[in-house]
Amino acid sequence: MIVVFDRQHFGKPSGPDPGAQVDLNNDGQFGTGEQEANLTPFYYLAARRILEKLGHSAVVLDNGWYSSRHKKANAIARANPHQRVAYCACHINAGAGNYAAFIHDERSVGGKRLASVLAGAFADAKISGIRKSITRAGNATNVWKRGYYTIKGIRSGPANISGVCLEPYFLDTEAHQHLTTGEGAQTVGEALANGLIRWGAGV
């Protein structure tokens, strides 16, 4: 199995895009440790370490327009036709919710399956502060359209790649803020890795 982790918001040609920002230490400013684009690596790198230790391959994309990143991921899948490839658009939610969300392209059967398996793994992990894990189908016009555009180009790739937009917790939910770094981020990464392993095994 190959997993492509895309550090979204970060590395856009248009300039810095921190994503969601929350003043976690109440100093009236948004430091790098309070910005979505700088916090996603804590969970996806934890997942990457687990996956690579088990012999899976992992790639991190962190620059270019999302469309170009989708093309890179699809090229990886085409070059490895006998492996399952998961494309993970890495995000952190905002809006003071209490759930983990996994958004797939509504046109993609494979994406729907990947989202479902990941949601199941997060539900099984029983992560403190996360009340439920949900999957949602995104398209160009519905309420999940922002998630849809983060993975839109994966649909044009080969059959062995599936994409999902990850929103594993809410940056502005107090009960989730322990998940930003350290042991909390490790827990999120473990749940993500476990879900990817299940998916890669066809569970």
For 33-88, the pLDDT digits (tens) are 789 999 999 999 999 999 999 999 999 999 999 999 999 999 999 999 999 999 99
pLDDT of 145: 97
- pLDDT one-digit tens code per residue, 150-201: 999 999 999 999 999 999 999 999 999 999 999 999 999 999 999 999 999 9
Q: Mean pLDDT, to the nearest integer, of 136-158?
A: 97
Query: Domains in the chain: how many in total?
Result: 1
pLDDT of 133: 98
Whichever domain contains 45, its CATH number is: 3.40.630.40
Give whole-number Cα distances, 131 to 2, 67, 77, 119, in Å.
29, 33, 34, 12
Confidence of residue 27 (pLDDT cuts 50, 70, 90): confident
pTM for the predicted model, two decimal places: 0.96
Which residue bears the tokens 């036709």? Answer: 81
Residues 6+ apart with CB under 8 A from 2: 56, 57, 58, 59, 76, 77, 80, 83, 84, 85, 86
Q: CA 158, CA 203: separation in Å to the nearest integer?
A: 21
Q: CA 127, CA 80: separation in Å to the nearest integer?
A: 34
Give the range of the structural domain holding residue 94, as residue numbers without chain letter: 2-200
pLDDT at 20 over 80: yes
- SS3 of residue 159 by DSSP: coil
pLDDT of 58: 98
- pLDDT one-digit tens code per residue, 96-106: 999 999 999 99
